[in-house]
Structure 1
């Protein structure tokens, strides 16, 4: 499957992902479950050695808007309190963006991934509500069919499959 996708909980916890999402976002293997949160990962300077993508702040604001929407629905939820509290203490950049008070349930947009093997890949993303737990969504990134970004994504999928075969890893 060449389409990267993740499942996010109401407070942006990363609940599931496919192989292509792992190729784009990095492997969450080895991280404790409480660290698997899109906001925590986005503002973790040990994981994001360089924030070279031009639209990083807009992407951060999309996630912050989604978290603010979840907090508005349940202001005292322990998970929201933990994530926002940690980031408020440890990240001046998060504090600055959180202070804007943007609220929104971002449902689509564009994201630029910098992937050393293939260069920049610009993908559209959409969220799809999932039945069951309130606020859970599937986040899917796609490229315009036939575009250079679709070609890069396909090449990246091929490189990933080759590495998995060579190293003996199983694909998910």
Structure 2
């Protein structure tokens, strides 16, 4: 639900970096767009360092570099950082502004794969929104959208 615009608006396979650099809605979904853009580039640079011969990384970096000055500038800066935890801002189409804490957990059995967990301050509007979203995720997509 947090990343639904990324999936809903994707042409082909959804990709966070493509969404950030190519979709005009990205700045609305991620109010701290500059930070999200830096994170997207940092994640790609870390993955390129981990697997420098990856055809998939070469393809996405090439696509982004040839079509986005914002991406090229960040890529050239070589500010490789891994974001293992922190706070992230979202602007959800139905719940408004959300501030969530995230933690990244490596999946030991699958190198390069990680799981990101989001939490909110107890009793905050963000916590209430997450609670509602989690109840929607156990119903059908049609039911969840008609329950307002």
**The TM-score by the shorter chain falls in which range?**
0.7 to 0.9
3-state SS of the aligned residue for 1:24?
coil
1:129 paired residue number: 106
Tell me if structure 2 keeps the 8 A contact 1:118–1:155.
Answer: no
Greater percentage in helix: 2
1:24 paired residue number: 2
What TM-score does the superposition give when structure 2 sets the normalisation length?
A: 0.79
What TM-score does the superposition give when structure 1 sets the normalisation length?
A: 0.70
1:115 paired residue number: 92
116 and 38 in structure 1: CA distance in 2 versus 1, 3 angstrom threshold: closer
2:57 paired residue number: 80
Higher relative contact order (CA 8 A, sep 6+): 1
1:146 to 114, 118, 123: 123
2:66 to 73, 81, 89: 89
3-state SS of the aligned residue for 2:115?
strand
Find out whether 1:64 has 2:41 as its counterpart. yes
1:100 paired residue number: 77
Find out whether 1:42 has 2:17 as its counterpart. no
Computed over aligned residues only, the root mean square deviation of the Cα atoms, in angstroms, reads 2.6
Which moves more between the two structures, 158-167 or 125-134? 158-167
Alpha-carbon shift at residue 50 of structure 1 (Å)? 5.4
Q: Runs of 5+ in structure 2 lacking a partner?
A: none
Tell me if structure 1 keeps the 8 A contact 2:42–2:79.
Answer: yes
Alpha-carbon shift at residue 167 of structure 1 (Å)? 7.3
1:51 to 27, 42, 50: 27
Q: How many residues align?
A: 142
Tell me if structure 2 keeps the 8 A contact 1:117–1:156.
Answer: no
Q: Runs of 5+ in structure 1 lacking a partner?
A: 1-22
Q: Deviations for 1:72-94, whole angstroms, at most 9, x for unmatched residues?
A: 22322111100100000111111
